[in-house]
Structure 1
Amino acid sequence: MKRPLIVTSLWSLVSAGAINSAIAADEPHVLMVLSSYGKQVDGKTTQPGFEFDELSKAYQVFSNNGIQVTLASPAGGQPLADEYNKDKSYNQAFLNDQQAMSALSDTVKLASLNGQSFDGVFIVGGKGPMFDLHQDNELQRLIREIYEQQGVVGAVCHGPAALVDVKLSNGDYLVDGRRVNGFTNLEETAFGKKWRPQFEFLLEDKLKERGGLFEQDGLMLNQVTIDGRLITGQNPFSTADTAVAMVRALGIEEVSEPVYKDDQSVKLAELLFRDKAAAVAQFNKSPDTYDVQMLAMLGVYQAKFATTQLQLHHAIELMTFVQSQFNHPMIELTIAKAHVRQNNQAEAKSSLLRAQKAYPDNAKIKAMLATL
């Protein structure tokens, strides 16, 4: 942790440069770490890299709250991001920030850094960390140094892979006995088919193996776990809130919190699961704040991977809520299948009959109706 500035002489603060340096010395400084694993051959990704959405969201949170940021990676230079949507507001903000893009084009090599220079470290996710960051000795050293000097350690999605082998000076694993989260086994099943077979381990399993008290929310819902100075987020939609929690842990009380449409949509779904009337009222108040197509897909995945009747009920509620704003044959079929899994064939048939009016030529709807 950087020491507070000590003023030994009035003359030391005479110049504007000295004053600016003094102000900068009191600003928290966060190290943001990206995977160097990403690789492309002839424009095709052959090795996964870091998640650009997570970089841009967290960077904007830190930057908007006056925190210095250093971007670093194991190899240094410019790491490769996985495919991402450049039109997203947070990605646009990063891409249009010359200072941010300059830092990304020439990230600092981890081996050249000293943990005493930083007040916190934030590990950006993406599949890449599962291949390089989890076994990077220099990163383990930096995380240990920062944490043991009362710094804050944060990670999101697959970023907590960087924590699994971090040992403190007493030989204990950093995560041992501490509440922690990350990309869950269920989320790997739903979204990790391409790279998961190449993983050495599943993140949830390894964190538990190291003694971590693993916490999780539902599939692709927002979960931030705070255990003192260890702060972890479950998936991309937890990124901004994980960074905000870090900002507060760094001692900044009046935090500027960003509002992103995808994160707000996930939070609306969570509210709907708890209080449908409140969620409907909130949506109607400002519908443009939410991404209804994303809400629909979230409902579809919630239904597909539901393991309890309550989860099925929540999925049906979400998809039914979205139908008035956005509909598709897949949503209709998923609702009907969810009703069947609830042993409610009558409701499934009623739903399909309504769907048939909207999509009279859909063969899958006709086929399912024939089975009821």
Structure 2
Amino acid sequence: MYKLILPTVLLAASFTIYAGDAPNVVMVLSSHGQLNADGELVQPGYEFDELSKAYRVFKANGLDITFASPAGGKPIADKFDKQKPYNQAFLQDTPAVTALSATYKISELDAGDIDAVFVVGGKGPMFDLHQHKPLQSLIANVYEQKGVVSAVCHGPAAFVDVKLSNGQYLVANKRVNGFTNEEEVAFGKKWRPHFAFLLEDKLKERGAQFTQAGLMLNHVQIDGNLITGQNPFSTADTAIEVVRALGLEPVELPPNKDDKTMALVAKMMAGEQQAIATYEQNKQDYDTMLVAMSGIYQLQFAEQEQTVDRAVKLLELTQKQVNHPMLDLNLAQGYIKQNKQQQAKAVVEAVIKSHPDNQKAKELLLSLQ
């Protein structure tokens, strides 16, 4: 590894690829994010949750970490919850916050000094990272020198135009994943119309073998030294696989509550009865609202009877805790799909009794007469 003389503050913080003998990882962030004078997001940037989750893994495993972006300086994140434990931990990490406010320009980095690249997602990469030539060159060079190249969620957008020295696209004939078309339909309504392409479509167009799990379920795909994660809930496991690919045995960390919740949701959607019992016996360990919202979206996009049944079960498990008419009406819709008209009617009538002005409930009840 090359050594450069850098400011003492950087060396002390170990936020530089030149800091020591530990493997180094460059975390790439979009520079597309922009705020207006009122502090409102008018252009999407990077996903802070993904940054903090991956950073937590890399820091725990002793990696040297560098933050980089096309423009350098302080990139803008999409709106995020500062109260989430992993975000709180990052924001209380002074060296991390300092480094994030002064990211390196990607064009300043030398692939010969880099062991791994990790591209953070968010909608921003769909606008700037996919067409940033210095990043394309960096990724290709790191990959060809047997470094680890990785990305999560929309981060793989940075790979779509990367070509190797043989003229082939990086992702050609490789197993990769990223934010799926189905997930775009469910969660990308605001910015999707402005995309130049859909990530799943473009990766396939480039010859990738696109793999995926269900809607917003954790899925990490490894193909040699190319590692990709499907969505935000895949972030921590993607970072863990990067650590493993660098030749280290990853430190065991307690899972984030939302990741733990979605892992259990995946088991319930796979029909594992023990997962239902686990939730019922340990509800305090899981994010009830996340289970409920998963049920709503799984039901919305369900194409098979089995998927409908399992999504309905998620709603039934959380109905009393959530106690919200939106969940109840979705549960009623699930019962309708199951041809349980009387159960659907009973749920809708209960909503009208407690919320007599709910127009959607009245319309649904009319359809059940």
CA contact (8 A) 2:240 2:250 kept: no
Q: Are 2:27 and 1:32 equivalent residues in the alignment?
A: yes
Alignment match, 2:129: 133
Alignment match, 1:83: 79
- The aligned length equals 353
CA contact (8 A) 2:332 2:347 kept: yes
Q: Are 2:196 and 1:185 equivalent residues in the alignment?
A: no
Alignment match, 1:341: 337
Q: Are 2:317 and 1:321 equivalent residues in the alignment?
A: yes
The letter for the 2-side match of 1:110 is: I
Q: How does 1:90-239 map onto structure 2 within 5 Å? A: 90-239=86-235
Q: How far apart, in 1, do the equivalents of 2:343 and 2:282 lie? A: 31
Stretch deviating more after TM superposition (72-81 or 215-224): 215-224
Q: How does 1:38-77 map onto structure 2 within 5 Å? A: 38-42=33-37, 43-77=39-73
SS in 2 for 1:220: coil
Stretch deviating more after TM superposition (266-275 or 143-152): 266-275
Q: Given the alignment, which residue of 295, 300, 316 partners 1:299?
A: 295
The letter for the 1-side match of 2:179 is: F
The letter for the 2-side match of 1:99 is: P
- What CA deviation, in whole Å up to 9, does each residue of 1:131-188 have, x standing for no partner? 1000011101111111111111110010000000111111111110111111111111
Alignment match, 2:9: none
- What CA deviation, in whole Å up to 9, does each residue of 1:295-331 have, x standing for no partner? 1111111112223222222211111111243221111
The letter for the 2-side match of 1:291 is: D
SS in 2 for 1:348: helix
CA contact (8 A) 2:269 2:307 kept: no
SS in 2 for 1:111: helix
TM-superposed CA distance for 1:271, in Å, is 1.3
TM-superposed CA distance for 1:353, in Å, is 4.6
Provide closer, same or farther for how the CA distance between residues 26 and 293 of structure 1 changes in structure 2, counting only shifts above 3 A.
same
The letter for the 2-side match of 1:120 is: A
TM-superposed CA distance for 1:25, in Å, is 4.1
SS in 2 for 1:325: helix
C-alpha RMSD of the superposition: 2.0
TM-superposed CA distance for 1:243, in Å, is 0.5
Q: Are 2:263 and 1:271 equivalent residues in the alignment?
A: no
Stretch deviating more after TM superposition (333-342 or 277-286): 277-286
User: Identity percentage over the alignment?
Assistant: 56
Q: How far apart, in 1, do the equivalents of 2:113 and 2:283 lie? A: 44
SS in 2 for 1:26: coil
CA contact (8 A) 2:243 2:250 kept: no
Alignment match, 1:8: none
Q: How far apart, in 1, do the equivalents of 2:123 and 2:133 lie? A: 19
- What CA deviation, in whole Å up to 9, does each residue of 1:37-64 have, x standing for no partner? 1111212222111111110100111001
Provide closer, same or farther for how the CA distance between residues 72 and 258 of structure 1 changes in structure 2, counting only shifts above 3 A.
farther
SS in 2 for 1:69: strand
Stretch deviating more after TM superposition (30-39 or 307-316): 307-316
SS in 2 for 1:154: strand
CA contact (8 A) 2:221 2:227 kept: yes
TM-superposed CA distance for 1:358, in Å, is 5.8
SS in 1 for 2:307: helix
TM-superposed CA distance for 1:258, in Å, is 4.1
- What CA deviation, in whole Å up to 9, does each residue of 1:199-240 have, x standing for no partner? 110000000000011111111111111111111111111111
Stretch deviating more after TM superposition (300-309 or 355-364): 355-364
TM-superposed CA distance for 1:336, in Å, is 1.4
TM-superposed CA distance for 1:275, in Å, is 4.0
CA contact (8 A) 1:176 1:212 kept: yes
The letter for the 2-side match of 1:164 is: V
Q: How far apart, in 1, do the equivalents of 2:202 and 2:366 lie? A: 46
Provide structure 1 residue ranges, at least 5 long, that are not aligned to the other structure.
Answer: 4-16, 18-22
Stretch deviating more after TM superposition (150-159 or 336-345): 336-345
TM-superposed CA distance for 1:87, in Å, is 0.5
The letter for the 2-side match of 1:81 is: A
Q: How far apart, in 2, do the equivalents of 1:215 and 1:356 lie? A: 43
TM-score (norm 2): 0.90
TM-score (norm 1): 0.90
Provide structure 2 residue ranges, at least 5 long, that are not aligned to the other structure.
Answer: 3-11, 13-17
Q: Are 2:256 and 1:260 equivalent residues in the alignment?
A: yes
